Structure 1
């Protein structure tokens, strides 16, 4: 029994564990360097030689700008109006004293337009800029469209293709509107990736090491049964899904929750009914979910067990109604009110008036309890 459950849990959780591990590796790996810079400090852009420029997070006290060559727009689909969201400026690498430098780009939010235009005017007039522009951002590579606009701009000032190739590098600084906010995003994404990676590995290790059966063993011991009794009960239990993860025996009801095998002692079950949920999108029915709700003394708030269809839900409720005569089966608003407001009176319906000994499935239940009622 335990080996069978271990294999089922491993099989059912392996896909999700692999997805978690891959997602974690992707998030953590993709954001590792950015999170490192966010935590320890950005690189001083002016200290980078052209060959060192890659994808760093940088601070730059920009002292020169050679003009805007591209504007990015956003269109309001309702009004048809356009507004500038970002501007691309041509800047030099290094500082004003650098001997090894190239031209590259900086992409700034529209709020920087005035400061950048002032800096450009001062640069082109060969005057010292009164106020260098302090920027922070991430270095990225220009795409083909951005590169074509840059090359067109440089050709207008007389550069040839060969001269452009020699004088430029295909990168730009994507300036942040808020450095603090982006730091939080990078660190949070890295932390989330690390968590998913660790959690995925933990799930696999938990199942492989047998820890996924610990709660089941506690459930069995708390119910007062021996593992040999439960092994026999589990093997004769009826399954209510194709994977055999939800089974009902005469002694206990067995299920898998996440990466844990669990069991409910049947002699503690008080109430069971079908819950049907209809899903709609924009008023159109898109699907139906069927659940069997089971309430027991250990978990009075109830368990929700999804099943494939209404027929399976009714089969399970019929078995409960036949085999467990102390369980109220079916739903009504009156039963719900009684269960929530006057539990002792609810228990007098069946739970406290029947012997808690499972009957043969073919035997008639004691008392009368509807199977079809549901919320």
Structure 2
């Protein structure tokens, strides 16, 4: 009889990967459906629209084919512009506003160009309250006009650019989702799973799994998801599994992370870090500082040769001279050790 913890974790990991990939793909497709009108216009291209149809439109949102080619009687530069000011004070003209004369009405056009052209391609969109107040109302007041502007405007910017960006990002996400589903379905061979590949550093992963699962039937110590068996330090969380040999434990310490929201301190996170002679780490987040300290004290009791507590000298040795640090700890393990209090 053996524990099925690792096998169940691998199975759970595959199922979670498939479900997550499907959910993300559905979200991407949902965003596409919400923008179905834009997508249809993107592929269909702009259509010619005559004056009579323009004059009959009262709501641009109800026009399905809203990417149109407009031919006006006259084009007039209103003199209004949208100007972006950088932090250094530099001003950049983002848009120019033109007035296209359509019979006895005026169609406001937002264009990157100030050229007074009578043939313009763009998307029919509602006029925002800001533009209606700052441009339309001002022009009507200055020119003594009354209700001559059509109740919508023409955005003559690059219609397809947002589509190229959106489809590029969406396509990449969908490819990752497809790979997630494929790998989750095809990962029926547990030896190919990332968990098994990590365990291969100990030798034959199948034999390693058998050894760990047999020892997990009677753990020597357990703290929530962290367990110590005869030979192993094991941590399981959600659909992941980590393990290191107890006799290869080199260093353990408490990590304190200050969380901030908009630069304002918003509490701390306390984590126990365990490092082995392969350079791998197991990271266990505690409920509070006392929880992490108790966890480290207990584990150190089972591995008294390991360095306990954080200091800059150990960190530098771990980063720059790890082999010497591991050798020093191996020599400590070869000698009888008394558990030390965490620094």
Same fold (TM over 0.5): yes
Q: Among residues 298, 306, 315, which one is paired with 1:327 in the alignment?
A: 306
Alignment of 1:1-375 (within 5 A): 1-2=5-6, 4-6=8-10, 9=13, 17=21, 20-29=24-33, 42-45=45-48, 53-54=63-64, 56-57=66-67, 60=69, 63-65=72-74, 89-91=98-100, 104-109=107-112, 112=114, 115-116=115-116, 132=117, 135=120, 137-142=122-127, 170-176=151-157, 179=158, 183-200=160-177, 202-203=179-180, 206-207=183-184, 214-224=193-203, 225-237=207-219, 240=223, 244=225, 247-255=227-235, 260-280=240-260, 284-298=264-278, 300=279, 302-354=281-333, 366-368=336-338, 370=340, 372-373=342-343
Q: CA deviation at 1:283?
A: 6.0
What secondary structure, in the 3-state scheme, does the structure 1 residue paired with 2:299 have? helix
1:216 Cα offset (Å): 2.4
Alpha-carbon distance in structure 1 between the residues aligned to 2:96 and 2:124: 15
TM-score, with normalisation over the residues of structure 2?
A: 0.65
Structure 2 residues without counterparts, runs of 5 or longer: none
Q: How many residues align?
A: 320
Distance change >3 Å, CA 354–CA 191, structure 1 → 2:
same
In structure 2, the CA distance between the partners of 1:281 and 1:215, relative to structure 1 (3 Å rule), is closer
Unaligned 5+ runs, structure 1: 97-101, 117-131, 356-364
TM-score, normalised with respect to structure 1: 0.61
- Cα distance per residue 1:19-78 (max 9 Å; x no partner): 63354224444567757877x7952555896589536555x57554466789687798x9
For the residues of structure 1 that align with 2:82 and 2:33, how far apart are their CA atoms?
32
Q: Deviations over 1:152-190 (max 9, x none)?
A: 959x7677xxxx8xx96x5432232xx3xx755432222
- Provide the C-alpha distance between the structure 1 equivalents of 2:313 and 2:92, rounded to a whole number of angstroms: 60
Q: CA deviation at 1:87?
A: 5.8
Alignment check: 8 A CA contact 1:66 1:90 kept: yes
Please give the root-mean-square deviation of Cα atoms over the aligned residues, in Å. 5.1
In the alignment, the residues of structure 1 paired with residue 46 and residue 323 of structure 2 have an alpha-carbon distance, to the nearest angstrom, of 69
User: 2: distance between equivalents of 1:328 and 1:322?
Assistant: 12
Contact 1:139–1:171 (8 Å) recurs in 2: yes
